[in-house]
A and B are shown apart, each in its own frame.
Chain A
């Protein structure tokens, strides 16, 4: 994951996992899966983040006081304008179909990954190996 040094200012630093076992467990078992889900959903809606190779928008960070937070990639002005247009497209689509946020009673768990198994772990489009000819 490519991290910008501090997208929100000096109070935020990329997460350093050299912490306690409990913290590492929390990161690995709880927070990182959430970040991956968030990135998957953001990439589905917004496309890959143009500012890094992974295409991820969000990463795990923590404040100086030790609180875990979600950081977002810094984007260039040009990319920001594209993002703005993308949000407008999304708004129009949602407005057209009058989508309301699902209530908790409507929520259905996503069983797909547990059924599909290893193949579902390929969640992001990998880069394509291209032909290189160096003469």
Chain B
């Protein structure tokens, strides 16, 4: 039986041009080397009236804009990634294709100008959520100054190519994290460094001219971004925007495209999940965190104690330490009496130390990150020290002068 693709056609329709679907397909291929059967691309319409194609994968989101028509829907339509690839094949030889839904069969239907059809089941159990919005604002905006760089696309491409320059002979374990890039926008320059020293190679640093406003540095996982940048036209400029030193994202924006990349630190990407896992293995569950960024510290409780903290710290020599911290008392001013009591406490502690910082008395167990395989011993030292210090909040303030 021949299916009637035009039956039960939705009252909306999306007319897609060859260039538009090509842009989407190239972006998708750059972000995901393999199409994933259960992932979708979103198409919707912004308040400006432009059609928006949105592709997101973990730390990166990329969008492509195109002119919309009055028949465009304002809702977010999920299109399976696999279907985009097939639309590319289908559109060859024509100017465009029409996309609509069969509202009875529950399918998305594509119709080419030469009368061929293709349909796919409408995805289920997918929902456009806030993280799919291209621009998310910045809750920390009032606290720091944004930075903007305008860079020619030829220079952007040079930047992207450098990100892909793997030193020859580099080899690393399958679960190791590849180097992040550190970028700096300042003094009419976009500069970057890729640090391959962990892979027994060198640091590579480069720069291209830019028109900058403000100054900032940031680090992020660069490879998908570089792959997308390399798909873009090279005859115009792009803007790089980072909304202050506490910004979660950097934005790379061209005429009809953009990329939002999550700013994260390489050492946190390497170690955070391992620390969480090792703590869990010894019965300590860290609390959930809200940010998409990998947190530099997390909270947990031990046997109903006050909130404790686990944090990661990178030192100048690239070594990383893990720190378990409990705030024993706050509002304790410096005095000889307080320091004397802290010294007495430290004499009795094993594998832990107490210190006074910013009027807070802190109990700390700190060890090189390679020691997380012995997490049980570190947590035990922390727990014992916490028990020894349980009365600090009561008596230490008494020694303040």
Contact = CB atoms under 8 A, between A and B. Distances in A.
A33 B8 CA distance: 39
A126 B74 contact: yes
Interface stretch (A4-12, A16-24, A80-88, A110-118): A110-118
21 contacts: A102-B142, A107-B142, A108-B145, A110-B141, A112-B137, A112-B251, A116-B135, A119-B65, A121-B48, A122-B45, A122-B135, A123-B133, A125-B133, A126-B75, A129-B77, A129-B101, A130-B124, A132-B103, A133-B104, A134-B8, A135-B104
Contacts of A126: 44, 74-76, 128
Nearest to A45: B139
Nearest to A127: B75
Q: Helix, strand, loop or mixed for chain B's interface?
A: loop
Contacts of B393: none
Interface in B51-88: 52, 63, 65, 73-78
Interface residues of B, number: 51
Contact of B52 (A106, A111, A118, A131): A118
Interface string A28-44: 00000000000010001
A105 to B, nearest CB: 10
Given A116-B253, A118-B65, A132 B74 contact: no
Q: Helix, strand, loop or mixed for chain A's interface?
A: loop
Given A115-B253, A118-B46, A128-B75, A108 B121 contact: no
Given A112-B138, A115-B241, A115-B251, A125 B129 contact: yes
Interface residues of A, number: 30
B145 A116 contact: no
A111 B133 contact: no
A129 B63 CA distance: 19
Interface of B: 8, 44-48, 50, 52, 63, 65, 73-78, 101, 103-106, 121-124, 126-130, 132-135, 137-139, 141-146, 148, 239, 241, 243-244, 251, 253, 258
Given A106-B143, A127-B76, A134-B103, 13 more contacts: A44-B137, A108-B146, A111-B148, A112-B138, A115-B253, A119-B50, A119-B134, A119-B135, A120-B134, A121-B47, A127-B75, A129-B76, A131-B121
B241 A111 contact: yes
Interface of A: 40, 44, 102, 106-108, 110-113, 115-123, 125-135
